[in-house]
Amino acid sequence: MTDIDIGNNRRNAAKAIDLQQLRLAVVACDYGSFRRAAEALSIKHTVFSRSISQLEYLVGTSLFERSSGGIKPTLAGRAVLRIARLILEQVDTLVDAGQSSGRGVSGHLAMGFCTSISTGNLRATLGEFKKRLPQIELATMERSRLRLMTALRSGTVDVVVTPGRLFSKDTKALPLWSERILISLPQDHCLAPREIVYWTDLRNETILLSQYDPGRELEDLLISKLVLPEDRPKIERHDVSRGIIKSLISMGMGLSLVMESDIGASFAGLVYRELQDGTGPSRLDFYAHWRDDNDNPALKRFLKLLAERYPSPPPALGE
């Protein structure tokens, strides 16, 4: 017989072995008796014995020593049974993983955002999600809005959470929470003793804003609150992160607008005060965005959590 013939015989034998034969052999070893194992599995003794004999024929060796007192594995049988247990464990793991992913209790979720998670609702939501579903691998990405929406459309991320709604025909949106807008200023600034700062108090100040998101959103809000150009402060846009902006403020170079979620990362020498107009605090609304054709079960579980934590108000009559 040639090496090719031997190789073909091995492949044919491997194809003929089924998982049930491996399971029966493992159970037989555990019980030390074909008859007791067959009774435990509610299988006829003759069917059980025939299945073991077929497995021994396929692997080319005897797996058990038979006697009136029962069975015990041969030297070759111990090696085969050890591998059989590993195979069965891997198959069980495979089935569990498939079923868990189908229910969304395991798998992978990629989320993008352009806001701080030092404190606030997004941080709390991510914490609860990991507590409820620790098997799901959660990947986060902080990018600009434009890059986040590109990633969402391409499928690189499953869900994007941003201040302000991003309109796209390819995505759906869920309103979440809103955050107050605060003014960040040096602790020795003349406005620092006040509990509340009004937008009009900023007229003669310099406002430092990051060119990264959500800097543009905050600048648009400032312009909407102070319509006349002569009422607005000087605005300086810096191509740096929000953390660097805080450093510049602590150096006395100006003030900045921040959202509530920014204040969890404390910075020496800085204080935060609520910004108000005549109607009260100023706020920005947050939204979750996702593709409607994304069938990732983990995404569905995350959206369910968002809907539970932040239920949308009922529509007004007539809507």
Note whether residue 212 is domain-resident: yes
pLDDT at site 3: 44
Tell me if residue 239 falls in helix, strand or coil: coil
Residue 317 lies in a domain: no
Taking the model in full, what pTM does it have? 0.62
Query: What confidence category does residue 71 fall into, taking pLDDT thresholds of 50, 70 and 90?
Result: very high
CATH of residue 83's domain is 1.10.10.10
Residue 272's CATH number: 3.40.190.10
Residue 208's H or E segment, with its range, is strand 206-210
CA distance linking residue 267 with residue 299, whole number of Å = 35
Domain of 266 in residue numbering reads as 177-283
Residue 164: per-residue pLDDT? 84
- Same domain, yes or no: 19 and 56: yes
More confident residue, 47 or 143: 47
Helix%, strand%, coil% for the chain, nearest 5: 45, 25, 30
CA proximity to 221, closest of 204, 235, 242: 235
Strand-pair partners of 185:
271
Q: Are residues 267 and 189 in the same domain?
A: yes
Residues 24 and 53 in one domain: yes
Q: Are residues 185 and 264 in the same domain?
A: yes
Q: How confident is the model at residue 210 (pLDDT cuts 50, 70, 90)?
A: confident
Instruction: Report angle CA 157, 158, 161 to the nearest 5 degrees.
Output: 90
Listed in sequence order, the DSSP H helices in the chain are 3-16, 19-31, 34-40, 45-59, 75-103, 121-132, 145-154, 215-225, 242-250, 297-309
| Residues 259 and 299 both lie in one domain | no
In a domain, 315, yes or no: no
Whether 261 and 212 share a structural domain: yes
At which of 58, 73, 103 does a domain end? Answer: 103
Residue where one domain finishes, among candidates 63, 80, 103: 103
Say if 118 falls within a structural domain.
yes
- Specify if 189 maps to a domain: yes
Does the structure show a pLDDT above 70 at 2?
no
Does residue 11 sit in the same domain as residue 41?
A: yes
Task: Judge whether 314 lies within some domain.
Answer: no
Convert the pLDDT of each residue in 160-187 to its tens digit: 999 888 887 888 999 999 999 999 999 9
CA quadruple 71, 75, 77, 83: dihedral sign: positive
pLDDT tens readout for residues 259-268: 888 887 777 8
Whether residue 224 is found in the same domain as residue 293: no
Decide if 74 is inside a domain: yes
One domain for residues 297 and 172:
yes
Task: Report pLDDT for 243.
Answer: 82
pLDDT of amino acid 261: 85
Q: What is the share, in percent, of the chain residues with pLDDT greater than 90?
A: 43
How confident is the model at residue 7, as a pLDDT?
A: 47
Position 37 in a domain: yes
Radius of gyration of the chain (CA): 33
Domain count of the fold of the chain = 3
Residues 114 and 92 in one domain: no
Instruction: Write down the pLDDT at residue 15.
Output: 62
Q: Which residue has the tokens 């690189």?
A: 156
Helix (H) or strand (E) holding 197, with range, is strand 196-198
CB 158 within 8 A of CB 110: yes
Residues 171 and 181 in one domain: no
* 66 and 89 in a common domain: yes
